[in-house]
Amino acid sequence: MTALLLANAAATLFMVGLTWFVQVVHYPLFPFVGEERFAEYHRLHSSRTTWVVLPPMLIELVTSFLLLIDPPADETALVAAGAALALATWALTAIAASAHGRIGRQGLNPGLLRGLLAASWIRTVVWTLHGAVVLALLAAVIANGI
């Protein structure tokens, strides 16, 4: 099993867990911060989150595309699906970042939070699908004794 595949699996599965935490726990708690402290909270949330998500997202994206060069266990379809899903998470993250920008400028209101949660649910599903693809790829590699 290649280091490239293991790096991809680790980064992807880390992001699957993180996105579920953010979706189910973190974002729904935004309204409980309080209006008077929300702007500063959101500013800190946004800057600190970048340091946690950017490295694994970069590793996930780069390794997803590098795996296309020599797909493990000849699983070209799984590797291609993984690369497409990794790219989709970046596009969806850009949408979420835009929603965060609006929240940062306008403050939190129920409509903005609903929009963020809706976009984030799609991203959560896509990341979960990528996690499933990575697990299927690992299973194929193990089954082939590679």
DSSP assignment string, 50-100: HHHHHHHHHHHHHHHHHTTTS-GGG-HHHHHHHHHHHHHHHHHHHHHHHHH
pLDDT at 49: 93
Handedness of CA 18, 75, 6, 53 (dihedral sign): negative
Q: How many CA atoms lie within 13 A of 101 on its CB side?
A: 6
pLDDT at 64: 98
pLDDT at 65: 97
What's the pTM? 0.93
Question: Per residue of the chain (146 residues), what is the pLDDT tens digit?
Answer: 589 999 999 999 999 999 999 999 999 999 999 888 988 999 999 899 999 999 999 999 999 999 999 999 999 999 999 999 999 999 999 999 999 999 989 988 889 889 999 999 999 999 999 999 999 999 999 999 86
